[in-house]
Amino acid sequence: MSKLRVSIIGSGNWGSAIAKIVGKNVEKLSQFENRVNMYVYEEMVNGKKLSEIINETHENVKYLPNHKLPTTIIAVPDLLKAVEDADILIFVIPHQFVKNVGNQLAGKIKNTAIALSLIKGFDIAEGGGIELISNVITKHLQIPCSVLMGANLANEVADEKFCETTIGCHNPKTSLILKELIQTPNFRVVTTEDVETVEVCGALKNIVACGAGFSDGLDLGDNTKAAIIRLGLMEMIKFVEVFYDKNHKLSTFFESCGIADLVTTCYGGRNRKCSEAFVRTGRNFDELEKEMLNGQRLQGPETAAEVYHMLKCKNMEEKFPLFRAIHRICIGEIKPKDLIDCIRQHPEHM
Ligand SMILES: NC(=O)C1=CN([C@@H]2O[C@H](COP(=O)(O)OP(=O)(O)OC[C@H]3O[C@@H](n4cnc5c(N)ncnc54)[C@H](O)[C@@H]3O)[C@@H](O)[C@H]2O)C=CC1
Ligand SMILES: O=C(CO)COP(=O)(O)O
């Protein structure tokens, strides 16, 4: 049997951390080709192309400094070359860029290939609703797309600190291949067929993380933050119940993609950090993202806006007061200090 060729589309903070794992695993596992192309959105770093720096030093000095990538990882700045003959495509770019990348790849991928999305966020659907990123990938590439979401702060994963993750995949054979490719002694994979729930959890937790950051910025303490996390979880569950797979499993929310990712993001994530600074400095998210993240991207405020507009169109905003309040704070419509008044009469308390 011929070996499976893997390509990684994305080389940011998480993209580089997952490249470290995948690059090492393909060295050991005979079913995969011993070279993994990693698509790099080209930029200049200290006067030199980032893709050249990565290939010469085996380090993504901008997005994952101080970590050596395995030599099996090859940085490729040309998207189509990066995915040439790929059997497994791992998508790990900020959600804002998915449609553009999908358009470029349409018609260029083997019809036997499979995709795995690590992207947390939604896309805006035609007509104003929201669309799952995995659907966008499948629509453009005409191949099935599984998802991987979990409590996985990239820097900690790259440090090889123990954590778990969740792969959502409909096909048990594909599930096994993906697990073999991704799992390590310190990165433990649980698979489930409850795919939509896994993906929706990954997107929505970024909204809740903004709420946690606002709470920190207001110095509201640990109990309030815990309440925000809990109410966030309840809104996430309701969101899946109302808009997604009626056969979803409540137990999926107790996997790494659910409660664990909420906790880690609400304590250690970029959305939390910038949301705290939003309150403390009074500056807007665009400025804070540029100043604090060195090219990395926030997903929370944009996802909050997308979800809010969808809820409003469906006349459902009152059922999701936390999501609504977070969006209104992000765009300056209400003050951060109004957050608690917005959730005091939460449906969970009625
Ligand atoms: N960083 C983390 O700890 C984790 C991130 N994620 C998710 O993974 C996804 C990717 O995040 P990161 O790898 O952290 O990325 P990042 O936040 O480091 O984003 C920057 C990346 O976007 C690229 N980029 C900029 N403009 C672009 C364009 N026009 N087209 C394509 N790429 C462009 C940059 O070159 C860089 O590679 C996101 O959905 C995020 O929510 C998931 C788990 C952990
Ligand atoms: O998804 C993440 C951890 O699982 C990272 O969250 P942030 O994007 O808020 O850093």
124 token code pair = 């805006």
Distance CA 234, CA 188 (A): 26
Contact of 213 with 274, CB cutoff 8 Å? yes
Q: Is 32 annotated as a binding residue?
A: no
> Is the distance from the beta carbon of residue 152 to the nearest atom of ligand 2 less than 6 Å?
yes
Of 79, 187, 297, the residue with max ligand 1 atoms within 8 A of its CB, to mutate for a pocket test, comes to: 297
Mean pLDDT of 308-337: 96
Distance CA 229, CA 103 (A): 36
Distance CA 97, CA 112 (A): 24
Distance CA 110, CA 128 (A): 31
- For residue 291, the model assigns a pLDDT of 98
Which numbered ligand comes closest to the C-alpha of 203?
1
Mean pLDDT of 299-312: 96
Q: DSSP 3-state assignment of 9?
A: strand
Mean pLDDT of 140-154: 98
- The predicted-structure confidence for 38-82, as pLDDT tens digits, reads as follows 999 999 999 999 999 999 999 999 999 999 999 999 999 999 999
* C-alpha 338 – ligand 1 centre gap (Å): 31
Distance CA 87, CA 98 (A): 19
Phi, psi at residue 64, to the nearest 5°?
Answer: -145, 65
Please report the DSSP string for 141-200 in residue order: H-S-EEEEE-S--HHHHHTT--EEEEEE-S-HHHHHHHHHHH-BTTEEEEEES-HHHHHH
Report the share of the chain in percent with pLDDT over 70: 100
Q: Is the pLDDT of residue 128 over 90?
A: no
pTM for this model (two decimals): 0.98
Mean pLDDT of 7-22: 98
- The predicted-structure confidence for 219-229, as pLDDT tens digits, reads as follows 999 999 999 99
Which numbered ligand comes closest to the C-alpha of 62?
1
Q: Whose CA is nearest to atom 25 of ligand 1?
A: 41
- For residue 238, the model assigns a pLDDT of 97
pLDDT band per the 50, 70, 90 thresholds, residue 14: very high
Q: Is the pLDDT of residue 290 over 80?
A: yes
Contacts of 75 (CB under 8 A, 6+ apart): 11, 38, 40, 50, 51, 52, 54, 55
Q: DSSP 3-state assignment of 238?
A: helix
* C-alpha 335 – ligand 2 centre gap (Å): 24
Please report the DSSP string for 31-51 in residue order: TB-S-EEEE----EETTEEHH
- For residue 246, the model assigns a pLDDT of 83
Mean pLDDT of 346-350: 95
* C-alpha 220 – ligand 1 centre gap (Å): 30
| CA-atom Rg of the chain in angstroms | 20
Phi, psi at residue 166, to the nearest 5°?
Answer: -125, 130
- For residue 264, the model assigns a pLDDT of 98
Q: Is the pLDDT of residue 201 over 80?
A: yes
Contacts of 130 (CB under 8 A, 6+ apart): 122, 123, 124, 306, 307, 310
Mean pLDDT of 141-169: 98
Element holding 324 (H helix, E strand): helix 321-330
Distance CA 271, CA 133 (A): 19
- The predicted-structure confidence for 280-289, as pLDDT tens digits, reads as follows 999 999 999 9
Q: Is 120 annotated as a binding residue?
A: yes
> Is the distance from the beta carbon of residue 120 to the nearest atom of ligand 2 less than 6 Å?
yes
- For residue 347, the model assigns a pLDDT of 96
> Is the distance from the beta carbon of residue 166 to the nearest atom of ligand 2 less than 6 Å?
no
Task: Tell me, letter by letter, the H, E, C secondary structure of 289-309.
Answer: HHHHHCCCCCCHHHHHHHHHH
- Choosing from 24, 108, 161, 205, the catalytic residue is 205
Of 13, 147, 153, the residue with max ligand 2 atoms within 8 A of its CB, to mutate for a pocket test, comes to: 153
- For residue 129, the model assigns a pLDDT of 85
> Is the distance from the beta carbon of residue 264 to the nearest atom of ligand 2 less than 6 Å?
yes
Q: How far is CA 346 from CA 85, 101, 211, 273, in A?
A: 51, 39, 15, 25
From 263, 228, 13, select the one nearest 150 (Cα to Cα). 263
* CA–CA–CA angle 80, 81, 87 (5° rounding): 85
Q: Is the pLDDT of residue 311 over 80?
A: yes
- The predicted-structure confidence for 99-112, as pLDDT tens digits, reads as follows 999 999 999 999 99
- For residue 284, the model assigns a pLDDT of 97
Q: Is the pLDDT of residue 126 over 90?
A: no
Known catalytic residue at 20: no
ipTM of this model? 0.99
> Is the distance from the beta carbon of residue 300 to the nearest atom of ligand 1 less than 6 Å?
no
Q: Is 299 annotated as a binding residue?
A: yes
Q: Is the pLDDT of residue 127 over 90?
A: no
